[in-house]
Amino acid sequence: MNRVDGRLKVTGAARFTAEFTPPNTAYGVILQSTIAHGRIGRMDVGKAEHADGVLGVITPRNAPKLPGAESRISILQNSNVEYNNQPIGVVVAESYEQAVHAAALIKVRYDFLPSKLDFQSGFVRGYPGTHNGEPGDLAFGDIDEGLSHAEVRIDQVYRTPIMHHNPMEPHASVAQWDGDRLTIHDTTQNISGHKQKLAAIFGIPAENVHVVSVFLGGGFGCKGEVWSHSVLAAMAARYVRRPVKLVLDRPQMFGPVGARPQTYQHLTLGAGRDGKLTAIRHEVLAHTSYIEDYLESSAFPTRVMYACPNVSTMHRLVQLNLGTPTYARAPGVATGTYAIEVAMDELAYALRMDPLALRQANYAEVDPHSKLPFTGKHLDECYSRGADRFGWSKRNPEPGSMREESSGLRIGWGMATETYPANRRPASALVRMKPDGRVLVACGTHEIGGGTYSMLAQVAAETLGISADRIDVQLGDTLLPEAPISAGSMTAASVTPAVQAAATQLKAKLQGRSANPNDAVEAEAKVAPDEMLKQKASPHSFGAVFAEVAVDPELGTVKVRRIVAVYDVGRVINEQTGRSQFIGGIVWGISLALHENTLVDARTGRVANGNLSEYHVPVNADIGEIDVSALNIPDMVFNSVGARGIGEIGITGTAAAISNAVFHATGIRVRDLPITLDKLNTHQQSR
- How far separated are the first and last CA of the chain, in Å rounded? 54
SS3 169: coil
Contacts of 276 (CB under 8 A, 6+ apart): 361, 362
**Run of H or E including 576:** helix 575-594
Exactly one of 82, 225, 596, 648 is catalytic; name it: 648
Residue 685 CB burial class (10 angstroms; 0-12, 13-18, ≥19): exposed
Identify the DSSP state of 574.
Answer: -
Q: Are strands 558-568 and 540-551 parallel, antiparallel or unpaired?
A: antiparallel
Q: Are strands 277-288 and 263-271 parallel, antiparallel or unpaired?
A: antiparallel
Per residue in 437-455, is it b (16+ CB within 10 Å) or e — as a string? eebbbbbbbbbbbbbbbbb
Is-contact 475 444, C-beta < 8 A? yes
| Separation between Cα atoms, residue 653 and residue 658, nearest integer Å | 9
Helices (H), 92-227: 96-104, 143-148, 191-202
| Separation between Cα atoms, residue 382 and residue 376, nearest integer Å | 13
**Run of H or E including 561:** strand 558-568
Distances in Å between the Cα of 109 and the Cα atoms of 17, 256, 290 are: 34, 21, 22
* CA-angle at 209, arms to 97 and 497, nearest 5°: 110
Is-contact 215 476, C-beta < 8 A? yes
| Separation between Cα atoms, residue 196 and residue 476, nearest integer Å | 15
- Angle at which helices 654-666 and 333-351 pack, to 10 degrees? 30
Helices (H), 394-490: 452-464
Is-contact 275 351, C-beta < 8 A? yes
Is-contact 43 108, C-beta < 8 A? yes
Residue 293 region by backbone torsions, left for phi larger than 0, else alpha for psi between -120 and 50, else beta: beta
| Percent helix / strand / coil, the chain, rounded to 5 | 30, 25, 45
Q: Which among 595, 566, 577, 592 has a CA at the least distance from the CA of 647?
A: 577
- Angle at which helices 575-594 and 333-351 pack, to 10 degrees? 70
Is-contact 426 527, C-beta < 8 A? yes
Contacts of 149 (CB under 8 A, 6+ apart): 270, 272, 278, 279
| Separation between Cα atoms, residue 99 and residue 246, nearest integer Å | 10
Q: Judge whether 292 counts as a catalytic residue.
A: no
Contacts of 60 (CB under 8 A, 6+ apart): 40, 76, 77, 78, 79, 88, 89
Q: Omega before 674 cis (within 30°)?
A: yes
- HSE-up (13 A, CA, CB side) for residue 601: 16
Active site residues: 648
